[in-house]
Amino acid sequence: MNPILLDTHAAIWGADGRLTAAVTKVVDAAAERGELLISPVSAWEIGLLVRKGRLTLAMGLQDYVRALFTRRGVVTATLTPQIAVTAVTLSGRLHDDPADRLLIATAASYGAQFVTRDKRIRDYAKATRQLRCIAC
């Protein structure tokens, strides 16, 4: 078992076909196994991006999120109280972005590799070894 959790931008890029071929292969394989995770936190972040004018969608927000989370092989990651507490208590040096912290804690909880372009998160993963990342 090797689940994959997509960072919000990776989920958007994946839906738009903008991930690299290598990352697409890993994501597609996880989807085939039913181990491609997307967190509800990403739905919230997408909504914020749309509200702030930083993301334009070809459809309504609700429809976009529904389509994203119902793609073949996607599993909605559960956001549990334990994940919320872990997000607050992550060890090591990490910025205070609550969405990133929740996503990192979710990946750790599921034992998932985290697909992200965020260098700060990838550096955190290397320094703490609490998280495995795939750069996209």
**pLDDT by residue (tens digit) across 98-111?**
999 999 999 999 99
Q: What are phi and psi of 91, to 5 degrees?
A: -85, 165
**Is residue 1 scored above 80 in pLDDT?**
no
Q: How far apart are CA 104 and CA 83, in angstroms?
A: 9
CATH number at 86 reads 3.40.50.1010
Residue 45 belongs to domain spanning:
4-135
Total domains, the chain: 1
Spell out the residues 6+ positions from residue 54 whose beta carbon is closer than 8 angstroms to its own: none
Q: What is the mean pLDDT of the chain?
A: 96
pLDDT reported for residue 82: 98
Q: Both tokens of residue 99?
A: 């969405």
DSSP state of 119: H
Is the CA virtual torsion 79, 31, 46, 119 positive or negative? positive
pLDDT reported for residue 55: 98
- Place 49 in a pLDDT band, splitting at 50, 70 and 90: very high
Element (H, E) at 126: helix 119-128
Average pLDDT over residues 57-67: 98
